[in-house]
Amino acid sequence: MTLSRANVEKILISRLGNKLTAAGLDGTTITGSNASLNDPIGYALRLSGYGVFDITNVADSDLLPVSNTTVDQVLDLAELRTLESVAGNLAVVDQIVGPRRMMLTQLSAQVEKEIARMREKVTALYGIGIGSLDAGTINLDFQEKPTDQWDNAQGSSYMQPYWNPFDA
């Protein structure tokens, strides 16, 4: 299966088109040239381990290496980043003009809840956002020395023998 930029845009617009439009972003273009989705698609590719030639203009060639096993990961990460873009571009002030009302504070709260849900989903399904656990041992190679030997060794090359009271 070959994934194209237009395919990814079509899926993202079907999931989030209304929210993109409400935030003043392009929520309709699905021809592979939606500038509002460059960052989310590039971000998803990079987090999934793929490279992007130009971060300001993700192309079909950047999506070619995406395998069938990581398509959903790329789409979910792109959706998460798109939601974050929407949240950053939303005006959080309610607007009332005559009989028309736009309750953008409610939309902002809804988007924040969706971001939290998507973060949980991405963490649970793909392990992204979880730190790795490493284990090992530390060998200090430490040997305790008697105090008088230590004190004598500090200033001279001659070290007096350690006196053990139990040897007498």
Residue-wise pLDDT tens digits, 55-93:
899 999 999 999 999 999 999 999 999 999 999 888 766
In this model, does residue 106 exceed pLDDT 70?
Answer: yes
Answer yes or no: is pLDDT of 133 > 70. no
- The angle, 0 to 180 degrees and rounded to 10, between the axes of the packed helices 5-22 and 104-126 is 150
Of the given ranges (5-14, 60-69, 129-138), which has the lowest mean pLDDT? Answer: 129-138
Element housing 80 (H / E): helix 71-89
Residue-level pLDDT at 36? 94
Of residues 157 and 112, more confidence is placed in: 112
pLDDT score of 131: 64
Q: 130: number of CA atoms within 13 Å, CB side?
A: 12
**What 8-state DSSP symbol labels residue 21?**
H
Q: What is the pLDDT at residue 97?
A: 76
- Is pLDDT of 98 > 60? yes
Which tokens sit at 99? Answer: 């009989």
* 35 pLDDT tier (thresholds 50, 70, 90): very high
